[in-house]
A and B are shown apart, each in its own frame.
Chain A
């Protein structure tokens, strides 16, 4: 046996090839999503600017199109300040946990038919697990910064995130009941078979709970209390600067994109179009699935910005009351409702 055969036993070539294909897929997904993160910030400033009768960024490039790139370059050169008496290890790790939790959820998102990095049976649970890890980044950064604002912000934010996590998990139970699966690709396929085409129609209650919980889960307005700039300056990441700040910022936007993808796949039909629409407008079937999926995600993200420009911020007691006293009972009612209807139909 030569050394070559020892290092690469028969069949190992297939494994290597497989790993390389996976790596390419991951690189494509991360690359495209990071580009979207950069331009989501631009899109947000433009949309909110227009809604407030302003122009938004206009200086860098035509219509400010190069603004996100300028912002990114600036963050690379920013000084990395670590406050005195901070717990250095935890301070370093916290943004990494946030980013890892947000990014790895992308592994199970079916972008179009057959394109998913990891086609696992518990895809939906995997996303819930990863979003539950997001609270570590928040609470640890608040604790490690050794600053009152950061500590209070982290505490509030983690309590908020865990409260709404339950509502989000429960709101998806109705979808699981209808699809009989937790694999996101299969949920999309089951939706295409369903007469209404999208689960947002029969699961309207679940969809409502999901959207509200998703906004709170990603700490966006009107639930952006932890970063309430007027009282807590920026909440848990007030002491972060430079690239570490950028990681938190990226994690927040990736979280929004994940929620958009989840809403698209579980409630809005993923890469498919309802059959009755195809019956009226048959030429639509030539539009590739990825376009539908991306359009649905963009719509959800636009909805995020729309709400931010429209609604005032809630108080903390109102926020906890909405999570515990409104959304959880609604989600439970939705589960019972779905169960009753399913049994009646059969």
Chain B
């Protein structure tokens, strides 16, 4: 049963990813990506990471992808859609992809199942993933968490500064 669901999600993720790059229309690409994010959320659920699954949908599907939509509309990609090929030089792309595949296959060898740490499936299931995450994130990983706020601060200032000139005119 586990294998069946994992296979379904994996195949759908691969298929949607291919459709994202194959679609000529940028909006269609975004829609395929939306479907893909749902299946990624499914994989998170199978890892007993329900909070991350919800975050995947809220942040990636609900916020970042909406930003993509706004950018595509802002650029008004009407003319580009009729061009035969968006990017030239498929040999370079193909060799890069093959190189990536080789690296991934080589990396497969280093995967190994280690004994469980403090947070086994049963423990996480009992405390619920959100609480488990909260307990670790706000005690052990306090510094990365506060640094995240600085990263977000940079993002706010960046967005405002980039668009500031346009705002004044």
Contacts and interface: CB of A to CB of B under 8 A. Distances in A.
Q: Do chains A and B touch in the complex (CB under 8 A)?
A: yes
Interface of A: 87, 89-90, 93, 120-122, 125-126, 128-129, 132-133, 135-136, 139-140, 143-144, 155, 158, 162, 165, 182
Contacts of A144: 27
29 contacts: A87-B25, A87-B27, A89-B28, A90-B27, A90-B28, A90-B31, A121-B130, A122-B50, A122-B53, A122-B130, A125-B51, A125-B54, A125-B55, A126-B54, A129-B58, A132-B57, A132-B58, A132-B63, A136-B66, A139-B66, A139-B73, A140-B27, A140-B31, A143-B27, A144-B27, A155-B73, A158-B69, A158-B70, A162-B66
Interface of B: 25, 27-28, 31, 34, 50-51, 53-55, 57-58, 61-63, 66, 69-70, 73, 128-130
Contacts of B50: 120-122
Nearest to A154: B73
Contacts of B61: 129, 132-133
B54 A136 contact: no
Contacts of A133: 57, 61-62
Q: Which of B27, B55, B66 counts the most A-chain CB atoms under 10 A from its CB?
A: B66
- Most chain B CB within 10 A, of A87, A133, A143, is at A133
| Max chain A C-beta neighbours (<10 A), residue from B25, B28, B54, B69 | B54
Closest 9 CB pairs of A and B: A132-B62, A125-B54, A129-B57, A121-B128, A129-B58, A122-B54, A122-B50, A129-B54, A132-B58
A133 B34 CA distance: 9
Contacts of A128: 54, 58
B59 to A, nearest CB: 9
B27 A182 contact: no
B34 A136 contact: yes
B68 to A, nearest CB: 11
Contacts of B28: 89-90
Given A90-B31, A125-B58, A129-B58, A158 B66 contact: yes
A139 B69 contact: yes
A132 B57 CA distance: 8
A72 B8 CA distance: 38
A286 B129 CA distance: 37
A89 B27 CA distance: 11
Nearest to A125: B54
Contacts of A182: 130
Contacts of A162: 63, 66
A116 to B, nearest CB: 16
Contacts of A87: 25, 27
A182 B134 CA distance: 13
Contact of A122 (B25, B51, B62, B70): B51
A258 to B, nearest CB: 16
Nearest to A90: B27
Nearest to A120: B50
A144 B66 CA distance: 15
A321 B60 CA distance: 26
A135 B130 contact: no
A86 B53 CA distance: 34
Contacts of B27: 87, 90, 140, 143-144
Contacts of B54: 122, 125-126, 128-129
A135 B66 contact: yes
A90 to B, nearest CB: 6
A143 B70 CA distance: 10
A137 to B, nearest CB: 11
Contacts of A122: 50-51, 53-54, 130
Nearest to B129: A121
Nearest to A15: B1
Nearest to A126: B54
A93 B50 CA distance: 27
B62 A129 contact: yes
From A132, A143, A155, name the one whose CB has the most chain B CB atoms within 10 angstroms.
A132
A135 B34 CA distance: 12
Contacts of B128: 121
Contacts of A143: 27, 69, 73
Nearest to A183: B128
A90 B30 CA distance: 11
A107 B142 CA distance: 35
Nearest to B54: A125
Contacts of A89: 28
Contact of A135 (B25, B55, B57, B62): B62
